[in-house]
Amino acid sequence: MESHIKKNILSKKTVAVTGATGHLGINLVKHLLDQNFKVKALLRKEEYPFKHSELEWVHGDLLRQDSLSELIKDCACVVHCASAISVGDGNHDLIYRVNVEGTRNLLNSCINSNIRFVYISSSTATEDIIGNGVFDENRPYRKNKSFYYAWTKARAEELVLKYADQKNLDAFILRPTAILGPEDPQISRFGRTILDMHKGELPFITNGGYNMVDVRDLCKTIENSLSKATKGSVYLTGGHYVTLKKLAKMANPAKTPYVLPVKLLISILPLINFYNKLFPLRWPINKESLITLQNAPKNMNCNKAKKELGHVNRPVEESVEALISWFHKNNIK
């Protein structure tokens, strides 16, 4: 059946995408169209972000089974990019319904279809690694709810693998790290940080950093996975680790923000949160993001994705330069 599905993808070339208006989703839709795929994209809003002769927007969301059935109709593959992100003490009920129940709904819609299911997860779905140990696909799932977004991504991954194993769904998982690069029309949180670094408007940064992958490289890997990935597999699709200080210098060599230790910021979070209620901050600071910066893996092994999916990752400097250039070109400030 697996070989039949892969052949079907190449002949029908119709791919459904959720989260199609997000940073990854909008880039993926355009990439697939450029590669002569037909695309059906899930849309919650009334206005179309853009139109294309080979693109069909399907109104609905992950909590409406009827719209999901319409989304995947006549598609050879669905790429599930949609998720709700928690920021501090965000709406946990909504985050769970979208990230876990929404994924379950989409999985159920695909059970009786000859369709490939690509779940776009997050490297944060697994436990942090201590020190300079190698971070790969074999990390145990995150069990602690304190980082709620990551916890829900872990639960969603478990569902995807369960459906692949017990319900014979041709599903697999890609785990990207922090995503950056053009286009970024709604300005992602990461994109806003880089833009404000470039403008010299970020008052301070902290120590630590991220593993970062260019959105264009990730889109190419997703395309490759449609025909190359193995059912039930997990692929870590990261890039390069860069500290925030180095990232700031890439964005603006002439002005580097003050560096405050993560532990200091965590200790004064109550004061920061109180100030934020009175005078909303442009850059949300929360324990989740600070711990992620502190514990982000420096030694990440993406060899499985490189070998099986042809995953590549360009230098972060190139991604930052291209993103800033895109912001300037589109007069985004």
CB atoms within 10 A of CB 1: 9
Q: What is the pLDDT of residue 320?
A: 98
Residue 282's pLDDT is: 65
pLDDT tens digits for 165-209? 999 999 999 999 999 999 999 999 889 999 999 999 888 888 889
Q: What is the pLDDT of residue 7?
A: 45
Question: Distance between CA 165 and CA 171 in Å, rounded?
Answer: 9
**Contact indicator for 288, 147 with CB cutoff of 8 Å:** yes
Task: Quote the CA–CA distance of 163 and 182 in Å, as a whole number.
Answer: 34
Check residue 12 and give its pLDDT.
55
Secondary structure (DSSP) of 34-100: HTT-EEEEEE-SSS-S---TTEEEEE--TT-HHHHHHHHTT-SEEEE-------SS--HHHHHIIII
DSSP structural state of residue 300? B
CATH annotation of 2-182+211-243+298-317: 3.40.50.720
Percentage of residues of the chain with pLDDT beyond 90: 70
> Domains of the chain: which residue ranges?
2-182+211-243+298-317
**pLDDT for 105-135, tens place per residue?**
999 999 988 899 999 999 999 998 877 889 9
Q: Are strands 77-80 and 14-18 parallel, antiparallel or unpaired?
A: parallel
Give the pLDDT confidence score for residue 291 in this predicted structure.
75
Task: Show Cβ contacts of residue 36 under 8 Å, excluding neighbours closer than 6 positions.
Answer: 13, 54
CB atoms within 10 A of CB 291: 17
pLDDT at 144 over 70: yes
Tens digit of pLDDT for each residue in 26-59? 999 999 999 999 999 999 887 888 999 999 999 9
The percentage of residues in the chain with a pLDDT greater than 70, rounded to a whole number, is 91
User: pTM of the prediction?
Assistant: 0.92
C-alpha–C-alpha distance, residues 191 and 322, integer Å: 12
| Spatial contact of 103 and 80, defined as CB atoms under 8 Å apart | yes
pLDDT at 290: 75
